[in-house]
């Protein structure tokens, strides 16, 4: 009967071992899906090779260090390169079963590191790291906590104190997490993850990652269930607790991410499930069902918060292996004392005493695993860099480390090549009946549309250039015509104006007929107006053709203002408008064209006189503003204009419509546009403030660099 029971236990442990080995497939799918496509092959191969390294290393050295005869509770000393053959005793067969089961555990711990350091650790560097973990760190700490599992008698120093870690929340998962953290810190974050422009890097295949999670979940039943080392009455409870803790961890992480970001995060859900599994692994045999759910929920939340902490500290874990395995592993180990059945604690420990032992185990694991791995990896990295070059990281480890590619990577590479060269004239090759081929096909449709648009726009631009050239030619012809015509018109107009003045001055004798005298006055007035119009047209044409030349000199602004005031005061008096002048006594000199400055002021004052009713008021002023610019201002109490009509008033030959208060058939619409153009030539700004039936204020602000006296004082200082 005893041999039958032993056989059942053997079969049970062997089945559970195969389930644990299935977790390697789960890790491969999970990690490959959570990284970018250009690194997926590299991650998968690392999962395969670390299993080879862990298997051989644990057989030659690791198993002996972990379960051999203990030296002071610190390290095993016998059983190196364990041997066995068919026909050996049942006891020897059980040793082989036990070795096989523990080898699967060692490989699981080793694989944890591969996801954390993905996308930047060289293949050789990872092989070295896997060897350090499986041959040295994992077996030594495993001896401290589990050294007596094979013999049934506690031998490790933590084991003797009553440390409980049923299936390895600390021994397997936290140890792997501590080494992963050390490797991340030695190598640094991936390019583009943090720093200026840094952002989270999304995995390329979440369905693949989800499949990996389910494979791990199924394998975990062998992980925890096989740790009973017998098919006994505790197995159903262990399996149910494992199931519920995983579900609770995934649910809690999903809700937490949903509440915080407004959307349920896929990666948080997957990692929350795994964190619940890690958390229940240490205690599933000593807690009840309700406690298992609570432990799993807290484990899922701990994982989310630990992930946020790493991001805040700019520690780049590619798949959140550290939050899942280290953070949740610590929580699960401490939860033994918090939720466990006190009657099942070794050495008669109270709950508080057991919590102290559990905490000691957590601290010992961290100090030993992190310190040793960090120092060794730093030393190795100094002579043989663990990280690939930035160029290799950019093109992806699939190509740089293994020369491997895929149709999708080929398409992406062709796209990047086109983007780098800026040449989109050639279509991408299409591999039929593949997803990459479909992407290339759709991309080529976009390219065709893009190239057609570019061709059409180039044709349009050619037409626009031709039209621009014709417009420039027409503008030049217009300017030349105006220049020639202005000379031809000015000569007879000046003669007409001169003769009309002589007749009005009665140099040829008095004009006896009042009607003739009125006619002569009209001739003089109309000729003067026509000459002014011709001058304005010519000046505006020169400005538009960029041929107007400023003759700049240092001017006394007060003198120019006074001259303008003197020239127009008679006209204001005839219109029944009061014209005043207000001057800042400390105005500095101004670098400007005297003729242009005078023309600007006269245009503004003339407009003010024209549109200010009899009895109104006009103020012409100049002052120094706080920012040391000189402001020339004309303010009137005229009829004003509405805000929407101001742009029209600034257009040449445009008058505001007849339904407006400011319409005047006498105007040509050139005064204000010419003033604005002359102001721009000086680098000045023209600001119009006006309200209908209240008045208008127009300010010309000359730039600071034209204020001569202030600049000279500043330079002298």
How far is the CA of 279 from the CAs of 52, 212, 529, 559, in angstroms?
Answer: 27, 19, 97, 91
The pLDDT score that the predictor gives to residue 679 is 86
Rg (CA), the chain: 46
Comparing 270-284, 364-378, 382-396, 499-513, which segment has the lowest mean pLDDT?
499-513
> How far is the C-alpha of 156 from the C-alpha of 163, rounded, in Å?
10
> How far is the C-alpha of 687 from the C-alpha of 701, rounded, in Å?
8
> How far is the C-alpha of 42 from the C-alpha of 121, rounded, in Å?
10
Looking at every residue in the chain, the average pLDDT score rounds to 86
| Higher-confidence position of 555 and 241 | 241
Query: By the 8 A CB rule, do 156 and 146 touch?
Result: yes
Is the model's pLDDT at 409 over the cut of 70?
A: no
Torsion (CA) 500, 506, 512, 513 in degrees, nearest 10: 20
Write phi, then psi, for 304 (nearest 5 degrees).
-65, -45
The pLDDT score that the predictor gives to residue 422 is 74
Closest CA to 35 of 213, 204, 199: 204
Q: 653-671 in b/e burial notation, b at 16+ Cβ within 10 A?
A: eebbeeebebeeeebebbb
What's the CATH fold of domain 552-716?
Heat Shock Protein 90 (3.30.565)
Closest CA to 317 of 420, 212, 406, 189: 189
Q: How sure is the predictor about 665, in pLDDT bands with cuts at 50, 70 and 90?
A: very low
Q: How sure is the predictor about 14, in pLDDT bands with cuts at 50, 70 and 90?
A: very high
The pLDDT score that the predictor gives to residue 480 is 61
The pLDDT score that the predictor gives to residue 658 is 45
The pLDDT score that the predictor gives to residue 647 is 83
Is the model's pLDDT at 664 over the cut of 70?
A: no
Is the model's pLDDT at 529 over the cut of 60?
A: no
Is the model's pLDDT at 503 over the cut of 70?
A: no
Which segment, 289-303, 385-399, 444-458, is predicted with the most confidence on average?
A: 289-303
Would you say domain 436-544 falls under CATH 1.20.1250?
no
Within 10 Å of residue 392's Cβ, how many Cβ atoms? 15
The pLDDT score that the predictor gives to residue 495 is 61
Averaged over 454-473, what is the pLDDT?
A: 78
> How far is the C-alpha of 47 from the C-alpha of 30, rounded, in Å?
11
> How far is the C-alpha of 495 from the C-alpha of 524, rounded, in Å?
10
Q: How sure is the predictor about 593, in pLDDT bands with cuts at 50, 70 and 90?
A: confident
- Span(s) in the chain for CATH 1.10.287: 436-544
Is the model's pLDDT at 675 over the cut of 90?
A: no
The pLDDT score that the predictor gives to residue 597 is 87
Give the contacts of 454 (CB within 8 A, at least 6 positions apart).
Answer: none
Is the model's pLDDT at 494 over the cut of 70?
A: no
- Span(s) in the chain for CATH 3.30.565.10: 552-716
Q: H helices then E strands: how many in the chain?
A: 26, 9
- Span(s) in the chain for CATH 1.10.3430.10: 2-401
Write phi, then psi, for 691 (nearest 5 degrees).
-135, 135
The pLDDT score that the predictor gives to residue 536 is 60
Is the model's pLDDT at 482 over the cut of 60?
A: no
Query: By the 8 A CB rule, do 299 and 279 touch?
Result: yes
Is the model's pLDDT at 460 over the cut of 90?
A: no
Averaged over 288-311, what is the pLDDT?
A: 97
Is the model's pLDDT at 713 over the cut of 60?
A: no
| Higher-confidence position of 605 and 527 | 605
CATH architecture, range 2-401: Orthogonal Bundle (1.10)
Q: How sure is the predictor about 415, in pLDDT bands with cuts at 50, 70 and 90?
A: confident
Predicted confidence (pLDDT) per residue in 46-56, tens digit: 999 999 999 99
Comparing 222-231, 462-471, 639-648, 701-710, which segment has the lowest mean pLDDT?
462-471
Predicted confidence (pLDDT) per residue in 194-209, tens digit: 988 889 999 989 999 9
| Higher-confidence position of 85 and 49 | 49
Averaged over 73-102, what is the pLDDT?
A: 90
């Amino acid at each position: 009967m005893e041999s039958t029971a032993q056989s059942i236990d053997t079969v049970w442990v062997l089945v559970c071992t195969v389930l644990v080995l299935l977790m390697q497939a789960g890790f491969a799918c999970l990690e490959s899906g959570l990284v970018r496509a250009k690194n997926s092959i590299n991650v998968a191969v690392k999962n395969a090779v670390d299993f080879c390294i862990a298997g051989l290393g644990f057989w030659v050295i690791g198993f002996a260090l972990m379960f051999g005869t203990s030296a002071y509770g610190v390290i095993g000393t016998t059983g190196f390169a364990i041997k066995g053959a068919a026909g050996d005793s049942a006891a020897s067969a059980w040793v082989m079963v036990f070795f096989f089961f523990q080898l699967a555990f060692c490989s699981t711990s080793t694989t944890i590191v591969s996801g954390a350091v993905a996308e930047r650790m060289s293949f050789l560097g990872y092989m070295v790291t896997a060897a350090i973990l499986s041959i040295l760190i994992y077996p030594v700490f495993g001896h401290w906590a589990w050294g007596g599992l094979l013999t049934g008698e506690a031998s490790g120093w933590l084991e003797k104190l009553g440390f409980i870690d049923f299936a390895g929340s600390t021994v397997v998962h936290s140890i792997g997490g501590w080494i992963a953290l050390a490797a991340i810190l030695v190598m640094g974050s991936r390019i583009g993850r943090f720093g200026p422009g840094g952002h989270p890097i999304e995995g390329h295949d979440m369905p693949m990652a989800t499949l990996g999670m389910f494979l791990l979940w199924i394998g975990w039943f062998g992980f925890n269930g096989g740790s009973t080392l017998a098919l006994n009455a505790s197995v159903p409870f262990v399996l149910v607790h494992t199931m519920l803790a995983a579900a609770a961890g995934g649910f809690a992480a999903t809700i937490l991410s949903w509440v915080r970001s407004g959307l349920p995060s896929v990666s948080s859900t997957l990692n929350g499930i795994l964190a619940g599994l890690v958390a229940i692994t240490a205690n599933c045999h000593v807690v009840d069902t309700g406690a298992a759910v609570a432990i799993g929920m807290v484990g899922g939340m701990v994982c989310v918060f630990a992930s946020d902490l790493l991001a805040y500290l700019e520690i780049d874990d590619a798949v959140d292996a550290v939050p899942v395995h280290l953070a949740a592993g610590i929580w699960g180990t401490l939860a033994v004392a918090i939720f466990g059945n006190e009657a099942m604690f070794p050495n008669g420990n109270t709950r508080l005493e057991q919590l102290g032992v559990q905490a000691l185990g957590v601290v010992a694991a961290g100090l030993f695993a992190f310190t040793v791995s960090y120092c060794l990896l730093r030393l190795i990295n100094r002579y043989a860099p663990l990280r690939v070059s930035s160029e290799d990281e950019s093109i992806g480890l699939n190509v740089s480390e293994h020369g491997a590619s895929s149709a999708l990577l080929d398409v992406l590479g062709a796209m990047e090549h086109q983007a780098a060269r800026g040449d989109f004239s050639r279509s991408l090759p299409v591999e039929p009946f593949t997803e990459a081929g479909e992407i290339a096909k759709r991309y080529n449709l976009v390219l065709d549309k893009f190239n057609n648009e570019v061709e059409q726009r180039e044709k349009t631009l050619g037409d626009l250039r031709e039209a621009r050239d014709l417009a420039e030619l027409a503008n030049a012809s217009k300017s030349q015509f105006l220049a020639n015509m202005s000379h031809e018109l000015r000569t007879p107009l000046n003669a007409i104006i001169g003769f009309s003045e002589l007749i009005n001055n009665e140099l040829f004798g008095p004009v006896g007929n009042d009607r003739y005298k009125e006619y002569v006055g009209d001739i003089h007035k109309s000729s003067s107006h026509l000459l002014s119009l011709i001058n304005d047209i010519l000046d505006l044409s020169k400005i538009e053709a960029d041929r107007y030349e400023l003759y700049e000199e240092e001017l006394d602004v007060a003198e120019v203002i006074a001259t303008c005031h003197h020239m127009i005061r008679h006209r204001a008096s005839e219109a029944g408008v009061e014209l005043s002048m207000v001057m800042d006594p400390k105005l500095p000199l101004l670098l400007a064209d005297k003729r242009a400055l005078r023309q600007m002021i006269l245009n503004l004052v003339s407009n003010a006189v024209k549109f200010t009713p009899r009895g109104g008021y006009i103020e012409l002023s100049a002052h120094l503003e706080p920012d040391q610019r000189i402001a020339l201002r004309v303010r009137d109490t005229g009829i004003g204009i509405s805000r929407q009509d101001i742009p029209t008033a600034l257009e040449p030959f445009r008058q505001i419509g007849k339904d407006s208060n400011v319409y005047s058939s006498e105007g040509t619409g050139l005064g204000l546009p010419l003033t604005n153009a002359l102001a721009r030539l000086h680098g000045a700004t023209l600001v119009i403030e006006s309200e209908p039936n209240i008045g208008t204020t127009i300010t010309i602000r000359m730039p600071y660099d034209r204020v001569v006296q202030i600049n000279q004082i500043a330079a002298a200082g």
